[in-house]
Amino acid sequence: MNKLTNYLVSSLLHEDKQKYKEIIALFPGGFKIPQLAHFHIADEVSKRTEITKLKILIGHKERDGITKEQSLAIWNIYKNHLNNKVEPEISSQTSPVKEVLDIVKNNPQNFYILVFGRNEDADRFKNVEQYDNVKIINFKDFEIGVSGTKARLEIVNGNYEGLQRYLPTELTDEEREKIWNILTNKINELEQHELKYWATYADIYDALKKDPEKRYEFLKTKLQGERLKALEYFYNEYFKEGQPVLNENLDNKEHLLLIKKLVDQCCSELEISKPNIIIVGGKYTEQNKSFGGYVPSENKIYLVVKGRNLADAMRSLCHEMYHGYQNHKGELTPTSGEDGSTHENQANSYAGSTMRKFGRENPQIFKIKL
């Protein structure tokens, strides 16, 4: 990797050090899965004394069933062997491209090194070049052997040994086993982790509902250990811009987890941000002759669940999520909600196909009455 290091240093900031508060490297990507090449790029970049931190921004889109949460879990294992400047996180935007633009634009006091290694990434980040406080470094010319498709194929084929060639040599046998378990026991392990927080620390979620931003900042200074981890989990997963992503009118936490799981899946597939979802009572149906609705101006969904089968309520949620996608694309019109309209038919089709797949993976939803 000496060649890579030399390439990084060749034109790096000899006169900009004094001008900027921090020099921060940004490494955006899908990382499904993070592999040997990604590890070495992070290692080499973070070792540079000029750089104060390296933010790894993980994209939301699933690849062959590998999720952003699994990617983050693997990066956190890699951190055991990386400089403490390395900070992996799931992108706050559906696509890390948008987050990179926002970071560079909104922080002119810092200088950014944008690194990536795939040929097709170059055009996606063209708009970043308009800013003076960023340098783009593309590692596409280095023989670093990234092949996410081949790595995922080893997982699909159950080939533990085959996967090892894509992982850093620095990992211990225990860490390799842990990564394999993350990738092959993906649903159960993550759900149990979430259920643990709900079962033990639901009081933290209740506290956040009162004033999310203020409560989060206060509790962050008071909590430690697992309770602090639970605070980060609840805040990041269930609150957005100070508002509950799912409000308090759904008491059963396991049902809430299933709905959140569906919302995450739809947001990933449609590449949209999470809407604010409000669980409402039967009066909404009486007034609107509907079990749900989408408000484009507020990116808000109203959903009636009481007395319904969970699968049926979820189908309504998928329908409204697709309207969110149509709104994101600028397609909605005042007549979009009329029976038989193209936009209604598209939403119905998406809801039906999504629920068939989700129901096969989560058959319990057909037996749950809300």
pLDDT per position as a tens digit, 290-315 = 788 888 888 889 888 877 878 888 98
CATH number (domain holding residue 267): 3.40.390
Residue 193 lies inside a defined structural domain of this protein: no
The pLDDT of residue 189 = 41
CA distances from 325 to 24, 119, 231, 347 (A): 33, 28, 30, 9
174 shares a domain with 294: no
- Which residues have C-beta within 8 Å of that of residue 167, sequence separation ≥ 6? 35, 36, 176, 179
Positions in the chain short of pLDDT 50: 1-3, 11, 13-15, 119-120, 141-143, 186-190, 242-245, 247-249
Q: Which domain holds residue 128?
A: 2-184
What's the pLDDT score for residue 226? 86
Examine residue 23 and state whether it is found in any structural domain, yes or no: yes
Residue 204 domain-assigned?
no
Compute the distance between CA of residue 34 and CA of residue 31 in angstroms, rounded to an integer. Answer: 5
Q: Estimate the crossing angle of helix 173-184 against helix 186-210, to 10 degrees.
A: 80
**In CATH, what number is assigned to the domain containing residue 58?**
3.40.50.620
Tokens of 20: 């900027």
Report pLDDT digits (tens) over 34-68.
988 889 889 988 888 888 999 999 988 888 778 88
Q: What angle do CA 65, 69, 74 make, to 5 degrees?
A: 95
| DSSP three-state, residue 23 | strand
Say what the pTM is: 0.50
pLDDT, residue 253, reads 65
Evaluate whether residue 304 is within a structural domain.
yes
Three-state DSSP class for residue 229: helix
Cβ atoms of 252 and 221 closer than 8 Å: no
In the chain, the number of structural domains is 2
Distance between CA atoms of 39 and 66, rounded to whole angstroms?
Answer: 18
Q: What local confidence, expressed as pLDDT, does residue 65 receive?
A: 76
Question: Residue 13's pLDDT is what?
Answer: 46
Is 262 a domain residue?
A: yes
Task: Give me the pLDDT at residue 192, please.
Answer: 54
Structure tokens at 280: 């409402």
